[in-house]
Structure 1
Amino acid sequence: MQNTSHAVMAQRVEASDSPDDFPTPPWATRALLEHIIDEPNFKNLSCLEPACGAGHMAKVLKEYFGEVRYSDAYKYGYGPVRDFLTYPYETNAVDWVITNPPFRLAEEFVLRSLNVARSGVAILARTVFLESAGRYQAIFMKQPPSKFAQFVERVPMVKGRLDQKASTATGYAWLVWEKRRQGQPRLMWVPPCRKDLEKPGDYSLPGTTTKAVRSR
C-alpha cells in the first residue's frame, strides 16, 4: 500500500542531475507581487527569472515588471539556456531576481542572486528551507531575508506540468531579501488569495517539454 502519511507525502526528493521541474502556479507568483513586495511601480523595474522552465513564472512577472529577463540551465523551448550559477552576470545587473529554484541548489541561487540584484531577491521554497545548519552559516546568520512569507493555502506543484486540481502536503513560502530594509526579518503570511488571483487561461499555458536537456 502507498504510504500517505503527512511526513512522507511532504518529501520531494530529486536526483542530483534532475532539472527539478515543478512549475509554479501563476497565482502563487501574483501573490508575491500583490501581497509581499512593497514596490510603488514595478513597471519602472527590471527582473530576472533564472530558472524559468517553460515560462510559467516569467509570464506572470511580465504582467508587472517593465523588463523581464529569463533563462534556464535546461532547454525547455522558452528562454535562453544559461546556467545561472556560472553565467557571467554583472553585479547589480537587474533590480530583482525572482525564481523558484531547484531545491538542491536554492542556497547557491540565493547567494548568486544577492550579487546580481540591485533591489531585492525573492525565492519560492519549501518551508523547510529555513532548516539546516549549513544554510544558517552560509546565508541566514549574515544575510537573513527581510521577509519570510508563509502561504496559508497550499501551493500544489506537480513535476513537469501545471495542474489546477493537484494537491500537496508540502508547505511553501516566499523568502524575500530587500536590500534597502534593515533590521530583523519579518514573519508574515500570504493570505488566502488563490481564488482572487487565478485568471482564465492560467492552466492552458503550454506545458514543459517531456525531456529537459542540460546545458553543456
Structure 2
Amino acid sequence: MQNTTHAVMSQRFEPKDSADDFPTPPWATRALVEHILGAETVRGRSCLEPAAGRGYMATPLSEYFEVVESADAYPYGFCQIKDFLEHPYKAQSHDWVITNPPFRLAEQFVERARLVARVGFAILARTVFLESVGRYEGIFRLTPPTIFAQFSERVPMVKGRVDPKASTATGYGWFIWLKGNEGSTTELRWVPPCRRSLERADDYRGRPSAPLSATPAL
C-alpha cells in the first residue's frame, strides 16, 4: 500500500513569519550522540536546545547530557518562551547548543550558537544547506563546520508532528562546530543506518499538536 503521509520535501517554502514547525524524530538526535559525538564526550555537560518545540529533540538529549535547557520562540506548551536570536544569553553559557532551527534562520542560529556555546554546537539541516554563495561567504569560507555528518537513511519530518510511518525525499545532515577548530577543514562522515536500533515506542507519544499562539517571543 502506498504511503500517502505528507513529509517535508526539499522544494518546501515556508512563509517568513512561519514557525517552521517540523519536529525531529528522536532517533535522529540519538544518532548524533551515539555515532558522531560519542556519549562519553557529552556526559556531565550542559546543552541548550533553543528551538525545542514540543521537545522531540530536547527529550533524547536529556538521556545523555547532565543538564538540558529548552526554549522556543513560540509557545508549544513544552518549554520556556525565548527567542534565541533576541534573548540575551551570556557568552559560553552552555557547553553545547544543539537544535533543528527554522531553515530560513539557520545562518543566524549558527552565528548565535557560536557565541553561546563553550564546547561546540550542532544544527540539523537539509543537506542543501551546504549550498549557496551567501552561506559560503557568510559562514563556510572562514568558519566551516568541524564535522558534516550525512544521514545514510532518510529522516522524515512532517509538519506539526512526528510520524513513524512518514517518508521523505529530502536528505538531512548534522553540521557540527567544535570550538577552537575555527578555520580548519571539515571532516565528512556518515551517520550509519541506525533508526531501527535507536527508535523507541514512546518516541511518538502525543504532545500539543500546534503552538498555543502564533505570536513568537520578543
TM-score normalized by the length of structure 1? 0.92
> What does residue 162 of structure 2 align with?
162
Contact 2:76 2:208 in 1 (8 A): no
Q: Could you tell me how far 1:205 is from its partner in structure 2?
A: 4.1
Alignment-mate amino acid for residue 32 of structure 1: L
> What does residue 149 of structure 1 align with?
149
Matched, 1:72 2:72: yes
Q: For the residues of structure 2 that align with 1:41 and 1:49, how far apart are their CA atoms?
A: 18
Q: Could you tell me how far 1:210 is from its partner in structure 2?
A: 5.5
- The more displaced of 115-124 and 201-210 is 201-210
**Alpha-carbon spacing, 1:49–1:173, altered in 2? closer, same or farther (3 Å):** same
Q: For the residues of structure 2 that align with 1:207 and 1:166, how far apart are their CA atoms?
A: 19
Matched, 1:122 2:122: yes
Alignment-mate amino acid for residue 61 of structure 2: L
> What does residue 88 of structure 1 align with?
88
Q: For the residues of structure 1 that align with 2:208 and 2:195, how far apart are their CA atoms?
A: 20
SS of residue matched to 1:98 = strand
Q: For the residues of structure 2 that align with 1:205 and 1:48, how far apart are their CA atoms?
A: 23
1:201-212 correspondence runs (5 A): 201-209=202-210, 212=213
Q: For the residues of structure 2 that align with 1:192 and 1:127, how far apart are their CA atoms?
A: 17
SS of residue matched to 1:85 = coil
Q: For the residues of structure 1 that align with 2:155 and 2:29, how far apart are their CA atoms?
A: 10
Q: For the residues of structure 2 that align with 1:29 and 1:150, how far apart are their CA atoms?
A: 13
Q: For the residues of structure 2 that align with 1:152 and 1:41, how far apart are their CA atoms?
A: 23
Q: For the residues of structure 1 that align with 2:96 and 2:206, how far apart are their CA atoms?
A: 24
- Give the unaligned 5+ runs of structure 1: 1-7
Alignment-mate amino acid for residue 62 of structure 1: S
- The more displaced of 118-127 and 34-43 is 34-43
> What does residue 5 of structure 2 align with?
none
Q: Could you tell me how far 1:37 is from its partner in structure 2?
A: 1.0
SS of residue matched to 2:95 = strand
Q: Could you tell me how far 1:47 is from its partner in structure 2?
A: 0.1
Identity %: 58
Q: For the residues of structure 2 that align with 1:70 and 1:31, how far apart are their CA atoms?
A: 19
**Alpha-carbon spacing, 1:141–1:39, altered in 2? closer, same or farther (3 Å):** farther
- The more displaced of 152-161 and 132-141 is 132-141
Matched, 1:190 2:191: yes
SS of residue matched to 1:176 = strand
- Give the unaligned 5+ runs of structure 2: 1-7
For 1:24-54, what per-residue CA distance to the aligned partner results, in whole angstroms no more than 9, with x for missing partners?
0000000000011146342310000000001
**Alpha-carbon spacing, 1:38–1:201, altered in 2? closer, same or farther (3 Å):** closer
Q: Could you tell me how far 1:211 is from its partner in structure 2?
A: 5.2
Aligned length: 210
Q: For the residues of structure 2 that align with 1:79 and 1:61, how far apart are their CA atoms?
A: 14
Alignment-mate amino acid for residue 114 of structure 1: R
Contact 1:160 1:207 in 2 (8 A): no
Q: For the residues of structure 1 that align with 2:43 and 2:36, how far apart are their CA atoms?
A: 17
Q: Could you tell me how far 1:108 is from its partner in structure 2?
A: 0.2
> What does residue 4 of structure 1 align with?
none
> What does residue 215 of structure 1 align with?
217
Contact 1:162 1:207 in 2 (8 A): no
TM-score normalized by the length of structure 2? 0.91
Matched, 1:131 2:136: no
